[in-house]
Amino acid sequence: MYPNNAGGNDQKSPPPPMMQMQMPMAPYPPAGAVPEQWTTGLCGCFEDSSNCFITCCCPCITFGQNAEIIDRGATSCGANGLIYYLLAQVGVVCLYTCSYRAKLRGLHSLQEDPCADCLVHWCCIHCALCQEYRELKNRGFDPSIGWVANAQKMNLGAATMPPMTQGMGR
């Protein structure tokens, strides 16, 4: 229950607005910008052997973690993982996952390499998910800890600085 407002009537004051954590992300590249190279190759799965193992056994986990970071926390790892699992049962999961590869490329101005996003996910979904996971890690994110923890980690420097005061006179 919220405390009564200062006027003394029985109306309840609204709860304070929730603070939203915003993390600086690379803006969409300007039109005509030269696309960057991926930081790792499509077949570099063993560069992160633990993620490679998880992706081979349960790719819905890696996809859910990647999607949560790419969507900046707007969707949860669990929800995306469930959607992945259900679409995989009918054989069309690449139609959903390739859209996240395109979003990741758009956020970081990456080349559509080695071929179209949907084709990469159709032919090599496990390799594509591992590459996207490594790309996020190489750009300072840790998909395994989720969006909120990444946002807190990125904002840590600003949160530890003491507030600036004005007009401190004697």
pLDDT at 156: 60
Alpha-carbon distance of 139 to 131, in angstroms, equals: 12
Residue 152, helix vs strand vs coil? helix
Average pLDDT, stretch 127-146? 95
pLDDT at 29: 53
pLDDT at 162 over 50: no
Residue 41, helix vs strand vs coil? coil
Q: What is the distance of C-alpha 130 from the center of its chain? A: 14
Residue 36, helix vs strand vs coil? strand
Alpha-carbon distance of 6 to 65, in angstroms, equals: 45
pLDDT at 43: 93
Structure tokens at 103: 């979003």
